[in-house]
Amino acid sequence: MNFKKFRKFRKNAKALSPVIATIILIAVTVAVSVVVAAWMGALTIGFMGNSEQAKITNVVLTNNYDTTSNSITTTGTTSAAIITIQNTGSASVTINSATIDGYTATIVYAIPTGGVKAITLGTNPQVPIPKGSSMDITIALGAQSETFSNSAQYTLTLMTAKGNSLTSSASYTGP
């Protein structure tokens, strides 16, 4: 083997300088980190930006709800729960179903807390609650024969359109 030719070849071989190689590595690293940051930012906004955050702040149970006047009266015959829900999230929350102790309840009335104009409910009631607001929703037990028992504890669950549930417990203290 001819060592003179090998040394001559090695001496003439050109390579990147360490400074240029370092600059290229840093540029590639910065470019990849920008792409990853943009992708993660989009995921975070998608998951967190539209999150439903609502809570039940008050529950009133009654056996004297009048569906004609949508109020509690001495002549009312429907068992119902009036539930105040506060939307604390960054997006609107839509309530689309309710249960009382696991039994299906019907959403019969909804009005913004402190408001005067009720939301019109159709045959498939859905109640939108805008971000930062509260809503009083009335749900009624299915059959006229169902009533709340005195001093009994009840679990109320409201389901949102996105599949989240809001749960609260309340006791009936009535006649």
Confidence of residue 12 (pLDDT cuts 50, 70, 90): low
Residue 78 identity: T
Confidence of residue 155 (pLDDT cuts 50, 70, 90): very high
Compute the average pLDDT of residues 13-38: 86
The predicted-structure confidence for 84-96, as pLDDT tens digits, reads as follows 999 988 888 999 9
d(CA 2, CA 133) in angstroms, rounded, equals 88
Compute the average pLDDT of residues 139-164: 83
- pLDDT for the residue 86: 92
- pLDDT for the residue 38: 82
Domains located in the chain, CATH noted: 3-48 (no CATH), 54-171 (2.60.40.1890)
User: What rounded mean pLDDT belongs to the chain?
Assistant: 82
The predicted-structure confidence for 35-58, as pLDDT tens digits, reads as follows 888 887 766 655 555 577 889 999
Closest CA to 38 of 49, 46, 26: 46
Structure tokens at 160: 């949102």
- For residue 1, pLDDT over 70 is answered with no
The predicted-structure confidence for 87-146, as pLDDT tens digits, reads as follows 988 888 999 989 888 888 888 888 888 777 777 776 778 888 888 899 999 888 866 557
Please answer whether residues 95 and 129 qualify as being in contact, where contact means their C-beta atoms are separated by less than 8 angstroms.
Answer: yes
Closest CA to 163 of 112, 70, 95, 114: 95
Residue with tokens 């028992």, as numbered in its chain: 149
- pLDDT for the residue 57: 92
55: CB partners within 8 A, 6+ apart: 85, 86, 88, 166
- For residue 148, pLDDT over 80 is answered with yes
Q: Where are the alpha helices (DSSP H) in the chain?
A: 3-12, 18-48
Q: Which residue has the higher pLDDT, 87 or 66?
A: 87
Region of 60 on the Ramachandran plot (φ > 0 left; ψ -120 to 50 alpha; else beta): beta
